[in-house]
A and B are shown apart, each in its own frame.
Chain A
Amino acid sequence: MTNLSILILIPLLTALAVLMGRNAIQIRFVALIGSVIQLLAGIALLFSYLAERAAGNTAQMLFEYRCSWYSALNIEYYVGVDGISIAMILLTAVVVVAGILISWNMQTLNKEFFFLIVLLSLGAYGFFISLDLFTLFFFLELAVIPKYLLIGIWGSGNKEYSAMKLALMLMGGSALVLVGILATYFNTNIGNGVHTFDLIKISQISIPVQTQMYIFPLLFVGFGVFTALFPFHTWAPDGHSSAPTAASMFLAGISMKLGGYGCLRVATYLMPEAAHQYSWVIVLLATAAIIYGAFATLMQKDLKYMNAYSSVSHCGFVLLGIGMLTKTAIIGAVIQMVSHGLMTALFFGSIGMLYERTHTRQVAQLGGLLKTLPFLSTVFIIAGLCSLGLPGFSGFVAEMTVFMGAWQRPELFNRIATILACASIVVTAVYILRAAGKSVMGPIANEQFKNVTDARWTEKLASILLIVAILSIGFAPFWIIDLIDVDTQLIMENIGRGLSSN
């Protein structure tokens, strides 16, 4: 029997060990070893999950563990995983390892830096395995403040403004989530006036549609803020571009996924009737985010801003998939979450590595990097190609699945939204090819670029790790689809309940 609490325990012990570390080398290695152990634990979890499913275990959640926490309010520490959570846990583990490798040479306050990164990952792991809404909310909020400190202390540019904006907008989102969760809680009378935060139990209670119509927007918008739901996306470009490299990787790679996961697992899953009613709003906002993000990217001159806006666009696909409420679209949304997490981490990582050497992120000032930095430039181009959805990379699989799922909705409105979203890929191709062409190809723009050195071993390792993960989804999408298929089916059964009652 696998004990899931170990996924929280490993980062916790790592964080404490980092605090004990005496010098920079110790701290780095402790952080790296801790995160690699966590990655191995994630992979072990994947295999034991597949083994359980192969053995015919059809329970919705596996490896459940529950114990009473605050019994007076019926708050439990209740964890369990399905394929979707495992995909998210693996994503988190990969990105954290890569992030720690890339920040290997962090000089200032490195103990605090690695401590906060590990603490942040702790919040994400806890969030993905929680099945109790209170615990889930606890971990969601746990993952906010470390971001503020990471951006505020180690960031660049207008960092204080960006950090504050990010923290306040995310906390605003979580305030909405809080009200939504409490409203849900007080609508779950399970006898004798006792209420429950238990996600699975709530999904079996039918909350009146009228009430759902109030609660669903709170939950969806609240989580939506985390995943840069249009028009609450404005924290994302500023936050990403001011953050230090590892923090941007984490922010775009994992934090935005907390929102997507919450929209799916909490908002849509618990309020299926309302999800159907509001489907058009979600589709509208998601399409707006996709198009707006793509065009805004065209206008950017700074590579980090470029990737940040394209993240808004890509996360739009996640929401589009969820909003369409068909099984294929939701599978696409989950794959897009994983794919975007890996790809954007690689993209931010390569931008950070280039910046460390050239000291500029302005596309206009870059040029000819392939000649002096062959490895890093290749990584940069791979990230770009994945971002524009080239077949063979994970982005293609994810976006294609979302489109196929979206097209299953026959209404004219949804069709138009799908077509518009598809069209945005062309825009993506324009900005990626333009940026990559200008900065990597052509003559060397600056004499100083000739004196730079290519990637160190840690950076190579990080890039290769992410690229392998991207390619393994791109070339063999079936394993991840198999992983999440059963669980999406179970979610769909709940959502279908909403459809039939309409």
Chain B
Amino acid sequence: MGIEFFILMKSEWALMLIIFILLIIKVNGTYQDNAKLLLFTNILLALNFMLGFVSNQSGMLFNSMFHTNSLIAFEKNILNFATLIISLQAYTWLKNHKHMLEYYMLLLTTLLGMFFMISSGNFLMFYLGLELSAIPLAALVNFDLDKLKSSEAAMKMVLLSAFASGIMLFGISMIYGTTGSLNFAELPALITGSHLQILTLIFIFTGFAFKLSVVPFHLWTADVYEGAPVSITAYLSVVSKAAIVFVLISTLSPLFAGLTTVWYNILFISIILTIIVGNLFAIRQQNIKRFLAFSSIAQVGFILLAISAGTALSNTAAIFFLIVYTLSNLGVFGVIALVSDETGKENIDDYKGFYKTNPALGWVIALSLFSLAGIPPTAGFFGKMFLITAGASKGSYILVGIAALNMVVSLYYYLKIVKTVFIDPNEEPIVPIKTNMYLKLSLGVCMIGIVITGFTSGLYDYIYLLFRL
């Protein structure tokens, strides 16, 4: 346990440090001004994000329970980045909130859980991380204590999430039963395709599917997204999903290589269902948060399309898309959070005539939605193209055809929102809203990212390099 112990776990140590600083401030109880404290916290998070770029070494700890390398460090930093953006966007909401510090402590604890999950080299560690990330999240969903809908959402989430964890744990126990090991390094050789192991795969995939809201395990998503505060909805739809995708990439095809046909078939059906159901339900939504819930379900279907190919190129496509998805989704959520905090309006119809009163925010919505729909010149186009190319590399053109046609369906509902914002007339549009510095910064980063990430191949090449190391 030398200096290596600190360097390998630097992201975790940094998060824990921030949590404890905030905890001490809270316990002291001397702070007066939320605004100053928010500035301080955001600076801490920004430093944390920058720390993610330096001294990323590979190595293992705790008897190979915990492992890390530059790819994992990069993945963690994506989550750091998304959390920072979400925190910047939560400013309007938190500046008068009396539980501001608790928000950050819970949020960073879930993030810590995800970090352990991504770094895990053993199913026990993985499960520990999963639970650490799940339970504070339910508390966050219910963060606005006076809202009945939030409580309902939190309850749904706790119960279903516990159920999914239970199923997953059952699957993990069967892995131990059939192979006698839980270590990721030993498992590929031991998983050979017995019937019980197929059942294991199904149970573990169910756990993942629940967290990713893959159809038919998506039923909690819309209610929870609607009930949670916007900032938490954004967190659920971006960070929480990204973390699971990272784990899925590093477990599904490496560990279950002996069962490739089985998981490919499972994915095949899940992808078709997820994309179609997500799209069809998104069309009918009135509430913008529910709408984004279903649209993000459909997006996950596309990510799974890439994962189904299971090569370095396809995994690169999945991670590249996740970054693009993060930027685009947080672009929309930033505007929604602001509008919701300032006016309390969350219905799609409320956004009629929004462009006339808030042109800049209108363009932010349009660009982000175009990116989500995969329209050039936004980065979303490149992201979607690479996902579909990755899917096609497996040679299943039925899947690719369905995905491509569903891009058209998804364009329909994204365009409907754009139409609402730009074209529809409204007697009482949302009043012009003043944006604060934090929001401007976060939206600016998102928009620049959406425009630049696609044209410059640097990021993509870098991820591909990480996968080949």
Contact = CB atoms under 8 A, between A and B. Distances in A.
Interface string A178-199: 1100110110000000000000
Interface string A152-188: 1100000010011001100110011011001101100
B376 A171 contact: no
Contact of A183 (B313, B385, B397, B423): B397
A283 B371 CA distance: 38
Nearest to A173: B408
Chain A: number of interface residues, binned into ranges: 20 to 34
Given A182-B388, A182-B389, A183-B397, A141 B381 contact: yes
B386 A141 contact: no
Interface in A55-93: 69-73
A142 B370 CA distance: 11
Contacts of B411: 167-168, 171
Contact of B376 (A69, A71, A142): A142
Contacts of A152: 419, 422-423
A179 B392 CA distance: 9
A203 B408 CA distance: 29
Interface stretch (A24-32, A143-151, A395-403, A445-453): A143-151
B186 interface: no
A167 B461 contact: no
B419 A160 contact: yes
A144 B316 CA distance: 28
Interface in B429-469: 457, 460-461, 464
A144 B392 contact: no
Contacts of A148: 415, 418
Contacts of B422: 149, 152-153
B316 A72 contact: yes
A287 B281 CA distance: 41
A276 to B, nearest CB: 23
Nearest to A143: B376
A178 B388 contact: yes
Nearest to A155: B423
A179 B313 CA distance: 19
Contacts, number: 78
Contacts of A163: 419
B395 interface: yes
A153 B362 CA distance: 14
Nearest to B390: A73
Contacts of A179: 392, 397, 400-401, 404
Contacts of A171: 407-408, 411
B128 interface: no
A161 to B, nearest CB: 11
A182 B399 CA distance: 13
A169 to B, nearest CB: 9
A160 B423 contact: yes
Interface in B376-399: 376-377, 381, 385-386, 388-389, 392-393, 395, 397
B468 to A, nearest CB: 10
A320 B461 CA distance: 44
A278 interface: no
Nearest to A172: B408
Contacts of B397: 179, 183
A134 interface: yes
Contacts of B407: 171, 175
B375 interface: yes
Q: Is the interface of B mostly helix, strand, loop or mixed?
A: helix
Given A142-B376, A153-B422, A178-B404, A70 B415 contact: no
Contacts of B377: 138, 142
B392 A186 contact: yes
A183 B375 contact: no
B217 interface: no
A232 to B, nearest CB: 13
A160 B416 CA distance: 10
Nearest to B370: A145
Chain B: number of interface residues, binned into ranges: 20 to 34
B313 A145 contact: no
B375 A182 contact: no
A69 B376 CA distance: 16
A179 B393 CA distance: 12
B190 interface: no
A175 B404 contact: yes
A139 B408 CA distance: 17
Contacts of A138: 376-377, 381
A364 B393 CA distance: 58
A182 B390 CA distance: 10
B419 A145 contact: no
A355 B407 CA distance: 37
B313 A73 contact: yes
Given A73-B313, A186-B395, A167 B389 contact: no
A141 B393 contact: no
Contacts of B385: 134, 137, 178
B422 to A, nearest CB: 6
A168 B408 CA distance: 6
B388 A72 contact: no
Nearest to B392: A182
Contact of B389 (A73, A142, A145): A73
B412 interface: yes
A139 B376 CA distance: 8
A139 B400 CA distance: 21
Interface in B292-323: 313, 316
Contact of B405 (A141, A149, A175): A175
B464 to A, nearest CB: 5
Contact of B415 (A164, A175, A182): A164
B388 A70 contact: no
A71 B392 contact: no
Given A142-B377, A175-B405, A175-B407, A72 B400 contact: no
Interface in A208-264: none
B457 A69 contact: yes
A167 B401 contact: no
Contacts of B412: 164, 168
B464 A72 contact: yes
User: Which 7 pairs, one residue from A and one from B, show the smallest C-beta to C-beta distance?
Assistant: A175-B404, A182-B392, A142-B376, A171-B408, A70-B457, A152-B423, A72-B464
Given A72-B313, A141-B375, A152-B419, 12 more contacts: A71-B461, A72-B460, A138-B381, A144-B375, A168-B411, A171-B411, A175-B405, A175-B407, A178-B404, A179-B400, A182-B389, A186-B392
Interface of A: 69-73, 134, 137-139, 141-142, 144-145, 148-149, 152-153, 160, 163-164, 167-168, 171-172, 175-176, 178-179, 182-183, 185-186
11 contacts: A71-B457, A71-B461, A138-B381, A142-B377, A148-B418, A167-B415, A171-B407, A176-B404, A182-B392, A185-B389, A185-B392
